[in-house]
Structure formats: C-alpha cells, structure tokens
C-alpha cells in the first residue's frame, strides 16, 4: 500500500510552493497533512488550534478537512513566516492567524476550548503541555509531529524528544498512541478525567 496522498488540496499546493520559494523547510509532510485533514473532518463545526503555523502548509491541510462552520486558530512567532502563510491561507474566514509566541498566547488566552490541537512547536509539546491541555475539550484530539530525527532539528532536540516520549504516555487525562510513522507522531484523546 502506498500511503502517500495521491491528490493534494489546491490550497496545500499553494502553501507548499510559497514555502519552497521562501526556502522554508519545516512544513509538515503530505502524509501527516492527510492525517490532519482526516482528523479535522472528524470535528464538524469544531474549534481547532495549531501552535506553529510555519508557512501555512499544516493549516492548509487542516482547512481542507474542516467544515464551513469550523474555526482554526493558528499561532506563529516569526512575523516573516506568518506573513508568508497569511498570503496563502489568510483570506479564509474560518481562520484566525496570530503573530505571537505560543508561550505568550498560552499566558493570555481566555477563550473557549478546542476540539483538536496540532502542536508543531516546543510549547504545548516539550513544555507547557498541562497549560495547553486545559483548553482541549473532552474527546478532543491532541496531535504532534516531528518526533523522529529531522534534518532541521536544533541542538538539544533529541533530548527534548526523548523526554517527551517518556512522559506523554502517562499524561493525565490523555489516552495516547505513539506512531513510528512519517516524521514520528503522537495522537492523544482527552478523557473527561483530569
């Protein structure tokens, strides 16, 4: 079986081209993106959070799975990269793109909970996971990628990932599956218990 998506949503193709033209090499893969689209489709009318917009490829995959009454809040700390993403995905009325670091966003956020979170940065994965999970509704999906060695990893990332992989299976209120697939994924579901 070939698990590489055979058809890419047009918005994803646009975001990938923009990322490639800008030399941005940290976008999610097509296989992870197809999974994001599928999970987003499981939350009709849902509220989805992405920490780490990057060039907008992951957000484009999420938007391609969302219903017309769903909402995506995506957070990016790098203004130039966020502007790149905004140029492709920004016109979508379901989208709110905030240019701030994820830690500051977690400090300041007081809104409604989320049905799904995609964590593609350090905050919410390697630190402040408990803070993020306070906003994940029961039955909500937590997903993180890049848990297998990547050429874009900074110094010290292997140590962070190793610690995360040891901790996440015992995370209170979360049922977790670790997937040795694609870039290395974690998928969890929020239980009603904390």
Give the pLDDT score at 193.
60
The pLDDT tens digits for 75-104 are: 999 999 999 999 999 889 999 999 999 999
- 21 Cβ partners below 8 Å, 6+ apart? none
Give the predicted TM-score (pTM) of the model: 0.95
- 150 Cβ partners below 8 Å, 6+ apart? 157, 183
**Lowest mean pLDDT segment, chosen from 86-90, 161-165, 189-193:** 189-193
The pLDDT tens digits for 22-57 are: 999 889 999 999 999 999 999 999 999 999 999 999
Residues in the chain: 194
Superfamily holding 10-190: Vaccinia Virus protein VP39 (3.40.50.150)
Asked whether residue 194 carries a pLDDT value surpassing 60, the answer given is no
Average of per-residue pLDDT values in the chain: 95
* Cα 57 to Cα 63: distance, rounded to the nearest angstrom: 10
């Amino acid at each position: 079986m070939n698990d590489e998506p055979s058809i890419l949503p047009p918005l994803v193709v646009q975001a990938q081209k923009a990322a490639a033209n800008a030399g941005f090499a940290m976008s999610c893969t097509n296989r992870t993106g197809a999974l994001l689209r599928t999970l987003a489709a499981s939350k009709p009318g849902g509220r989805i959070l992405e920490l780490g917009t990057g060039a907008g490829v992951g957000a484009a995959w999420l938007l391609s799975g969302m219903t017309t009454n769903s909402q995506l809040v995506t957070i990016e700390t790098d203004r130039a990269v966020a502007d790149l993403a905004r140029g492709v995905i920004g016109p979508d009325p379901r989208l709110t793109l905030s240019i701030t670091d994820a830690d500051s966003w977690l400090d300041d956020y007081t809104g409604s909970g989320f049905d799904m979170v995609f964590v593609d940065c350090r905050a919410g994965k390697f630190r402040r996971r408990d803070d993020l999970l306070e906003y994940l509704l029961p039955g909500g999906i937590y997903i993180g990628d890049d848990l297998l060695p990547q050429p874009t990893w900074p110094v010290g990332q292997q140590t962070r990932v190793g610690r995360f992989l040891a901790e996440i299976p015992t995370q209170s209120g979360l049922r977790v599956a670790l997937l040795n697939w694609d870039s290395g994924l974690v998928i969890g579901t929020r239980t009603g218990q904390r």
